[in-house]
Every structure is written in structure tokens, then in C-alpha cells.
Structure 1
């Protein structure tokens, strides 16, 4: 049965708009790597100014955030939603510079959706804090 995309569920869980007018004019859904293990052109994606919704990135979070930090400010809002829209859902809101480190909280890992961009500043979860949805 088809359902809502986990990227959209993650944004809904955070109570944020992926295309908040004060922050961006679009959203880009992307996987962190192709089948041949190559990564997207993070510089080009960062330059779009859109909210990035990144699938399959938890195992590459260190290299992914390092690549994005070459093109985006360290204070860029970022978040992870693990198991979006399920009873086990966990959320973490941070900055791009701190995301890899804070994602090492006990139990965090795949499956997780990574969201990066100024629109993430509208998330309704306190920064650098994980919340388990009751």
C-alpha cells in the first residue's frame, strides 16, 4: 500500500514547511548516494538555496555534512527524523556543524531522514535535543 513519503512525514513531524517563504523557494529530495556509491554534487545542491531532504544518509552523515559545510554556513539549521510517522519516531534538531556529532545519541541511526536548510529553523523541537514521540 502506498503512503506518504518519509521526507514529507519528517517535515510534518517537525511542524515545519519545507518551502517556508521566509527561508527558501523550493525543496530538493535527494538520496545520499547512488547505487554505484557515488554521492551527489553537494555544492550544486547547496547553491540552490532549497531545503534539502536527504534519504539514505545516516551511514554517510560525517562525509555528507563535511561536504555540505564546504558550501553552507556552520549555523545552517539541520534535523534528523528517524522512523518518521511511526510510534518509534525520534527527532533531532541541530545545526549543520553539530549534526553528525549529535546524531550519535544512543539509538539514532537508519532509517533517518536528514533535512538541511534555513526552513528547518521553523521546526517545533528545541535545538540539539532528541524527542521521542509518545
Structure 2
């Protein structure tokens, strides 16, 4: 008499902002013994290379308006692999529960009786800001930080009042393609056109770029510098702290 295998565990693992050195120890340990890896497209190849030879990789890369696999199908894949008795490492850029749909995947697994463990990662916002040496909070400039997604439908109808301004920092994920609409929306809500902004491209990777400007020129900045995803937009006075930028320039010049 045959018995169905015990379900495997789905590990929702944050892969961090890009640099493999920013993986948590637990994430690295799970990856190094993984047999099935379901990963996002933005996970760095060097991170994937940590998996053992013979591991099976499934890419479920998503790009704006182009999905290789619908979220419902990703959920079903995770459940099917686990019910077949396989432990699954589900690698997500940044942290699984910050704009990563990790909550949806956890709910789908729980509903199917599949055990889930969540391994937090360095979020894209925190990793990008640290790599660019932009303090998201600062005693003199900001005591409030907000994270928003910039590619949501109905962007103009969302209430962002109070998310950005004096004493506040706003970090926008997936906002490159909608930079013009974001700037217009924030200025219409009363944010000063001169509010400093920074755009961080390929955070924590060797090809990282940081470009700075003012809110009114955000769309032109993105177009002129040919910014491509992955990139985050940071809006707030912390992006223009000259003391940090000047000290960094002095250190770089002394090398």
C-alpha cells in the first residue's frame, strides 16, 4: 500500500538587493543545500550559483506588464512541488514580504496544508539607501519613512498625502516607468518642486549608479540618465545631505 509523501516545506527567502554578500546566513545555508529553487528574475546570478550542482531552477521572472508566469500559477507550482515531497527555496529579491507577493504565496501554501517558513532579507530600499550612503532617517531631516509601489494601477487616485515632505522620506519601488506621473502627483499634493530626489540603479551591484536632482525634474533625470530597472526613487531632504557626500568624495580622492 503506497502512501503519499509528506509535504515538503516552502522557504520564502529574501535574496537581498543584489550583492551576494548581503544574503543572511540562513538564506545562504538553505540555498547551498537546495534541490528546487524557484526564483525571481532580479536575483543575481552569483546568488543562484550558490546552489549545489544538480539543483533544479525555475525562473518566474516578472517585468512590468510582462509576466513569464501568473501569480496564481506560481502559487500552484510551489504547492505542487511541496506536495510531491520536495523542499522548495523560493528566492525573492529584497525581502519576501515587501512588494514581493510573499504574503500571497504563504497564504496559498497554508491553504493547501503546506508548511511555510519565511527568511527575511535586506529589503531593496534599505540595501539601496545604504549602498548609496543615503540615511533614510536622520535626526536633522527625517523621522518618518514610507515605502510605496510606483507601478500600481490607478496611481493618480491613490492617497499619498503626507508620505513625503519636511521631516519625511519616501522610497518608491518600481517607479522608473511612471516617474513623470509620480512627480506630478506629489507636486499636486503640495510637495515643493525643489524637494531633493535620488534615483538608485542596480543597488549594491558593481554597476550601481546614483543620480540626484529635484522633484520637478525627476522625469527628465530618469530619461536623460537612461535609468533602467532595477531602480528605486528616494524623495526627501536626506538625499541632499552634503556632509555625507563631501566626506565620501574626500575618501575616494585620497585612495
Say which SS state the counterpart of residue 79 (structure 1) adopts.
strand
The runs of at least 4 aligned residues of structure 1 exceeding 6 Å deviation read: none
The answer for the alignment partner of 1:129 in structure 2 is none
Q: Which has the larger radius of gyration?
A: 2
The one of 201, 207, 212 equivalent to 1:88 is 207
Number of residue equivalences: 124
> Unaligned 5+ residue runs, structure 1?
127-134
* Correspondence for 1:64 among 182, 200, 213: 182
* Pairing 1:81-120 to 2, within 5 Å after superposition: 81-120=200-239
String of CA shifts for 1:64-121, please: whole Å, max 9, x gaps: 0111112211111101001111122111111111121111135312221000011111
Q: Which SS does the other structure have where 1:50 is aligned?
A: strand
Alignment of 1:37-48 (within 5 A): 37-39=153-155, 40-46=158-164
How high is the TM-score relative to the length of structure 1? 0.81
Which one has more relative contact order, counting CA pairs under 8 Å at least 6 apart? 1
- CA RMSD for the aligned pairs? 2.1
Q: Which runs of 5 or more residues in structure 2 are unaligned?
A: 1-12, 17-121, 247-255
Which of the two has greater helix per residue? 2
Give the match for residue 130 of structure 1: none
TM-score by length of 2: 0.45
